[in-house]
Amino acid sequence: MLLKLAAAALIASLACVPVSLAQDTPSIGGFTLPSLMPKSPQEPAQPSAPTIPIAPLIGPLPELPAQNLDIPGLGAYASPASPENNPLIQTTKLDLKARLTEDGGEIPSGLFWCVFSSDVGPDGQLPVVATAKGGSASFDLPAGSYLVHVSYGRAGATKRITLGNAPRQEVMVLDAGGMKLSAALPDGSRINSDLLRFSIYSGDESNERSLIAPDIKPDTIVRLNSGTYHVVSNYGTANATIRADIRVDAGKLTEATVQHRAAEVTLKLVREHGGEALADTSWSILNASGDVVRESAGAYASLVLIEGDYVAIAKNKDHIYQRDFKVESGKNEEVEVLANAESETSSSMN
């Protein structure tokens, strides 16, 4: 019986830990099976941002490189009764393979296998008895019942397997695909990748969305179980945020490009046009509604803003200056605030 774990069981952390038998967890094969995914932080409240429909491009999922699955301290979880430590225990060979879909090919690399004993330990947990990484895996285990979990990036599946005296082969079907994200401006030009990051959340709207994959760089392939996910694209760290729901199909790579209507802006306080920026300046950027978008300190204030009208307020020593400015999508520019009587506000503290 195949248990699909939402978005990643044991996957986001790529760590193998003993399984605790909690009362409020799902049941499989006659005993309780907890979620193998660590609790993820809930999506923080964010200012409302436009949701722009996107048209994902779906194609065959390419072979993905193996990840670094070295897990410090994993040996601390190994069962002291493992066959390797006791050659007198009679064992049976268990050969394991994994596929993205039922009729797909064998996944050659990038897998992490974790075998749990079904015998609860003295601490009330299901101990890890064996692990492996790479492609297919083979274990020599005593006859009995086990939980086998395989992860592929942030996709994973769990299955209960009972071993007898005869060798056994099992194929785990992940029902997984990939997602590749990018962003562009309305004219089709690409956005500076250093300023662009994505976060993937669970797509379940009935409950609080759980963070599955944070801080993803553009054009990174993320392996996920099939399903619909909520994607948040941040261009810069101010207010340029786009949200979209994207579906991942098993055995396929979904490529999606979101569109940002924003620009990069650099503010500086000068005594004359083209002059040097004044140091020790504090900045406040307000939108058309008067809400503070960003505050910073320094000779320059560099940020990304969605298109619209803004007010830049600069405080230098005991004087406060301001300037209205407009941001046009895709038009990166430098905005000068003049330190003179015309731009000084009535709140100047002389």
Question: How crowded is the C-beta side of 81, counted as CA atoms within 13 Å?
Answer: 10
Task: Confirm whether 348 is domain-assigned.
Answer: no
Task: Say if CB 195 and CB 183 are below 8 A apart.
Answer: no
268 part of a folded domain = yes
Is 47 within the bounds of a domain?
Answer: no
Question: By three-state DSSP, how is residue 313 classified?
Answer: strand
H or E segment at 320?
Answer: strand 319-327
In terms of domains, do 21 and 106 share one? yes
User: Where is the domain boundary, 221, 238, 259?
Assistant: 259
Four-point Cα dihedral 121, 125, 129, 133, nearest 10: -170
Total number of domains in the chain: 3
State how far the Cα of 64 lies from the Cα of 134, in Å rounded to an integer.
Answer: 12
Q: Provide the pLDDT for residue 212.
A: 94
Residue type, 37: M
What does the alpha-carbon distance between residue 172 and residue 106 come to, in Å, rounded to a whole number? 10
Residues 82 and 188 in one domain: no
Q: Do 254 and 275 belong together in one domain? A: no
Domain shared by 277 and 195, yes or no: no
Sheet of 155-163: strand order equals 2-4, 155-163, 144-152, 111-117, 128-134
Q: Are 236 and 308 in a shared domain?
A: no
Report the relative pairing of strands 111-117 and 128-134 from DSSP bridges: antiparallel
Write out residues in the chain with pLDDT < 50, as ranges: 1-15, 20-41, 45, 48, 51-53, 55, 63-81, 348-350
From 185, 146, 176, select the one nearest 7 (Cα to Cα). Answer: 176
Q: How many CA atoms lie within 13 A of 70 on its CB side?
A: 2
pLDDT at 107: 96
Of the three residues 239, 259, 279, the one that is the final residue of a domain is 259
In a domain, 7, yes or no: yes
- Residue 102's SS3 state is coil
Contact 319, 348 (CB under 8 A): yes
Task: Give the model's pLDDT for residue 96.
Answer: 97
In a domain, 349, yes or no: no
46 inside domain: no
**Structural domain ending residue among the three candidates 140, 173, 206:** 173
Would residue 344 count as lying in a domain? no
CATH code for the domain in which residue 244 is found: 2.60.40.1120
CATH at 149? 2.60.40.10
116 shares a domain with 86: yes
Query: Domain residues for 322?
Result: 262-338
| pLDDT number for residue 121 | 78
**Rounded Cα gap, residues 199 and 44, in angstroms:** 12
Q: Which amino acid, 5?
A: L
Residues 239 and 268 reside in one and the same domain: no
**pTM of the predicted model, to two decimals?**
0.75
Alpha carbon distance 309, 179 (integer Å):
35
